[in-house]
């Protein structure tokens, strides 16, 4: 079969725009012509374009004239406007996580701690509704950039569920590290909340996805989340926090530790942790306890390769693994971190959907359920962990 060619544009020129471009270069099934980049930061956008020999567009609209797909690699506050603008022009959208959220009232003294989380939940769901309406009216579709869905270990678990008809009883997971690099991340007005949304969305979306797969495989309909109980804390904003320089601690108004207890409509559960207080590199894992098997999906770290380095300077030019403080001693060196993280598999899957109409594993409805669960969880934190019902899509 002759490969189709798809024209693509990137919005944003920071961290995620970089790994999106890398992953696009590894797609096999489709020819991808990356036509250009648009970024609010003109200097970094031009440098990004020059490095990759692509065009810099100074407006989103101008780039939309030239492409079939846009990658939304901008802070969460801009996800809805950029995605809706592209869908209105009948373009496909690859939107980074989280889909959307609530970003404050625009006032100078807006602060997450003082916010009534019911306001955030209502506004986030209204934003989700607007994106769903835009997709329904478009010839394009939104693909949800939740790489955890495409992680090889999670896709292997999908195969086990589909072939054995397993019932998952408990999903236990975590995403954590010592703090995001992003300046915007310190402000709920840019990111829609703190670690519960920023990192919690990853294990949550994987759990929602696997319960969907389970229900579809056994009974022809997905199993959905029903209620959530949650707690969130701002450990590095406490007066008692003792900073020794290893953990980022300059957040303005966000939570940096959270836990969600999700109950599904079949009565089974997921317990999901997210934090910005863990040293030693990225700590991402999901454990599945089912009625006929168990699975530990070790995403990062994992023991595919272990190295021992007696002298720090030896590994000066060696990439070991993300966010590790030292390269000396034993380390779980990742031979191909992007592969274990699911980035190339995610792009391969998305472009097969765009070019050949292959079913999408990570779509707008999964993203919508994730946002609904997250903001219901934030409402639960305000009620000291009382269970809150989740609206599903």
When binding is defined by CB under 6 A, the residue of 8, 83, 127, 147 that contacts ligand NAD is: 147
Distance CA 301, CA 280 (A): 9
Q: Which residue, 80 or 253, has its beta carbon nearer to ligand NAD?
A: 80
Q: Which residue, 77 or 388, has its beta carbon nearer to ligand NAD?
A: 77
Q: Which residue, 74 or 223, has its beta carbon nearer to ligand NAD?
A: 74
- Reading the block at residue 165, the tokens are 């008809």
Q: Which residue, 95 or 115, has its beta carbon nearer to ligand NAD?
A: 95
Residue 323 in the binding site for ligand NAD (CB under 6 A) = no
Q: Which residue, 15 or 356, has its beta carbon nearer to ligand NAD?
A: 15
When binding is defined by CB under 6 A, the residue of 78, 161, 230, 324 that contacts ligand NAD is: 78
Residue 182 in the binding site for ligand NAD (CB under 6 A) = yes
Mask 184-223, x = binds ligand NAD (CB under 6 A)?
A: x---------------------------------------
When binding is defined by CB under 6 A, the residue of 6, 8, 9, 11 that contacts ligand NAD is: 11
Which residue is it, tokens 């303005």? 252
- Stretch of residues binding ligand NAD (CB under 6 A), selected from 6-14, 86-94, 219-227, 318-326: 6-14
- Reading the block at residue 27, the tokens are 């797609």
Residue 55 in the binding site for ligand NAD (CB under 6 A) = no
Residue 97 in the binding site for ligand NAD (CB under 6 A) = yes
Residue 39 in the binding site for ligand NAD (CB under 6 A) = yes
346: left (phi over 0), alpha (psi -120 to 50) or beta: alpha
Q: Which residue, 75 or 222, has its beta carbon nearer to ligand NAD?
A: 75
Q: Which residue, 229 or 300, has its beta carbon nearer to ligand NAD?
A: 300
* Residues in touch with ligand NAD (CB under 6 A): 11-17, 38-41, 44, 73-76, 78, 96-97, 147, 182, 184
């Amino acid at each position: 079969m002759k490969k189709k060619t798809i024209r693509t544009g990137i919005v944003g020129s920071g961290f995620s725009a970089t790994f999106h471009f890398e992953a696009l270069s590894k797609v096999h099934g489709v020819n991808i012509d990356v036509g250009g980049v648009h970024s609010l930061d003109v200097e970094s956008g031009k440098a990004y374009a020059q490095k990759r020999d692509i065009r810099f567009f100074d407006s989103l609209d101008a780039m939309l004239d030239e492409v079939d797909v846009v990658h939304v690699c901008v802070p969460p506050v801009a996800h809805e406007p950029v995605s809706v603008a592209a869908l209105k022009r009948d373009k496909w959208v690859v939107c980074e996580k989280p889909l959307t959220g609530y970003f404050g009232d625009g006032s100078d003294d807006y602060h997450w701690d003082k916010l009534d989380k019911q306001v955030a939940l209502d506004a986030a769901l209204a934003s989700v509704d607007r994106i769903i309406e835009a997709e329904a009216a478009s010839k394009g579709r939104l693909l949800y950039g939740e790489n955890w869905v495409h992680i090889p270990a999670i896709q292997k678990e999908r195969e086990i569920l589909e072939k054995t008809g397993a019932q998952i009883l408990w999903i236990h997971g975590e995403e954590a590290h010592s703090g995001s690099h992003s300046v915007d991340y310190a402000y709920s007005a840019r990111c829609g909340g703190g670690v519960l949304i920023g990192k919690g969305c990853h294990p949550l979306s994987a759990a929602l996805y696997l319960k969907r797969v389970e229900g579809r495989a056994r009974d022809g309909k997905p199993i959905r989340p029903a209620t959530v109980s949650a707690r969130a804390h701002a450990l590095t904003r406490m007066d008692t926090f003792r900073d020794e320089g290893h953990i980022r601690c300059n957040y303005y108004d966000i939570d940096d530790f959270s836990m969600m207890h999700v109950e599904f409509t079949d009565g089974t559960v997921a317990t999901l942790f997210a934090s910005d207080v863990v040293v030693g590199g990225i700590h991402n894992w999901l454990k599945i306890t089912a009625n006929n098997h168990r699975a530990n999906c070790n995403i990062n770290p994992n023991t595919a390769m272990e190295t021992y380095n007696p002298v720090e300077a030896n590994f000066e030019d060696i990439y070991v693994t993300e966010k590790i403080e030292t390269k000396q001693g034993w380390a779980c060196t990742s031979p191909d971190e992007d592969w274990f993280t699911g980035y190339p598999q995610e792009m391969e899957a998305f472009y097969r959907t765009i070019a050949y109409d292959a079913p999408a594993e990570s779509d707008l409805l999964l993203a919508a359920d994730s946002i609904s669960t997250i903001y219901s969880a934030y409402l639960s934190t305000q009620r000291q962990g009382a269970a809150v019902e989740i609206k599903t899509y």
